[in-house]
Structure 1
Amino acid sequence: MVETEVLKPDAGGIARASALLRGGGLVSFPTETVYGLGADATDDRAVARVFEAKGRPSFNPLIVHLPDAGAVAGYARLEGDAARLADAFWPGPITLVLPLREGGGLSPLVSAGLPTVAVRVPDHALARALLARAGRPVAAPSANPSGRISPTTAEHVLAGLAGRIEAVLDGGPCAVGVESTIIGFDPTPVLLRPGGLPVEAIEACLGGPLLHRAPDSTINAPGQLGSHYAPVAPLRLNAAAARPGERLLGFGPVEAAALNLSPSGDMVEAAANLFHHLHALDSGGAMPIAVSPIPDTGLGRAINDRLRRAAAPRG
């Protein structure tokens, strides 16, 4: 057990957080998507502690966070369609799975032994300030116990990881509320995980449709486990109404919802509320949760992806 510090989002907090990271500590920090659990990506022990703290399967790779696109060159090759997407959307909620650069110094635990690494530049001033001050590539999955609901506030992080990590840099609630969209290149761009950047925007930038990863493909990027983002309570999807003994997580103008992702049907509002509302409903015990149908377009794809994984059979 360690005493988990809560750091303010100021110069002192950034300095303390960066010192902890450079010393092999684990620091949770906010991004525009969710709170990440950061470790020095060149430090094998620190990265191993991420897996330990989260109880995360070692075959599930981590995302390396960097302060700007220029920092990528030291660790991965950014070219072609990947460079186009980086120019268009970084900083922002998109992760690119790139070929590892030999001699870059990243721990092999970060990429789970694969020849590629997932990289992104977050669109959050506090996160980029921390990354710049730390001067290290930071491996940062979501700051929650593996398979549980992703955190969008410092309080969520502390509820799951207090005593397991050194600090949380409290930057308030996350604006986007679902993890980044992940794009791989094989060599054609392929959607590996829907997320905070809609697929339509990516396809418009590329001038053509993305390929889609087959559901039973080998895990080659974060967020591809079948059961993931799961509350303790069982989840039932596409529910017209709650059954006796269930609580309804609504979307749109539905009646009798315990909580509603967006009464007006706003996908951005729904994405931002998703994990917060799941946390709130799950805190009431193991009473089953029913979820209203959500359109599978734009950010709805990311929301439905998270909900399907949350509702998947638990192995």
Structure 2
Amino acid sequence: MSPDHPLNLFYEEPDPDRWIPFDRHPRRLIRQLVRGPDQPGGAMRVFLNLRAGLDRLGAIYRVNDYRHIRKNPTELACVVGKPQVLAKIPPETPILFGTSIYSHPNDDPELPKRRPIRQVLVPSDWVRDMFAEVWPGRVSVWPVGIDTERWKPDPASSRTVDVLIYDKIFWQRERHERTLLEPLLAELRRRRLNVKVLRYGSYREEELLDLSRHVRSMVYLSRHETQGIAAQQMLASGVPLFVWDEGGQWQDPKYTPHQVQFEPVSSMPYWDERCGVKFSDARGLDAAFEAFWQGVEAGTFAPRDMILQRLGLEDRARAYLKLAGKYA
């Protein structure tokens, strides 16, 4: 986009009324009083990091300026998320849609026929391939950047935790606890390593940031990831990862296997040998962890370099501007 044509960015979290009209407002206030400020999830983190990257580039943009887009409906609306925002955009307005959108196009397969969707953005190659089965020729890959100034190694901090286990196991949890998590914990106990477990959804981002300065390594347990921002934040902090990456079919029970059968997926779509070691199941766990731990002890991994090379905040914001200019 040219400097005299600011981006029209749109992002809102869904917050519908629950019991009576307009009760979302007092519920939001009470929620913040009880829990503190809202914790950014992955979708919101995409929006926040995009804005941070645009700010560093000096790019001009508007946020949720519905009045402007109604007066100028032919300008491009960059709907980062979430999908309910579309109802507030004029029907004739061209849209760059993503990445914080549907889990699968089956949620609204006819959307590109109803609205002028210029392009749909998704975070990684495997998600593009899955979405393209429903929306062929209309899906591009754009991952958001990581704030490598915030997430960086702290030489002054002592790394007192050998292994942080990041537990993001949702589906078939009992089976995976028995076949994966318990053998992993047994191997770590056998090695007498100092271990901490962090369960997805039960921590605040500031806690992960603090841990990034005090852990030597992280085990990442997730069936699949569209981008894996939390993992990338740790990589940017210089923390090598031991990653469960089983591949295979997409597992979301809302869609599969009755609606969608897609493979292969990945739990770490942005990766190279500098980041650590992957394993596919418990059968290869011990040998894979031996190779991983040797690398940790020897300091042979360089995970931050991968993030700086491929997922810098400014570079990814610059790529977004290029896409917006292409589809405006």
Greater helix share, structure number: 2
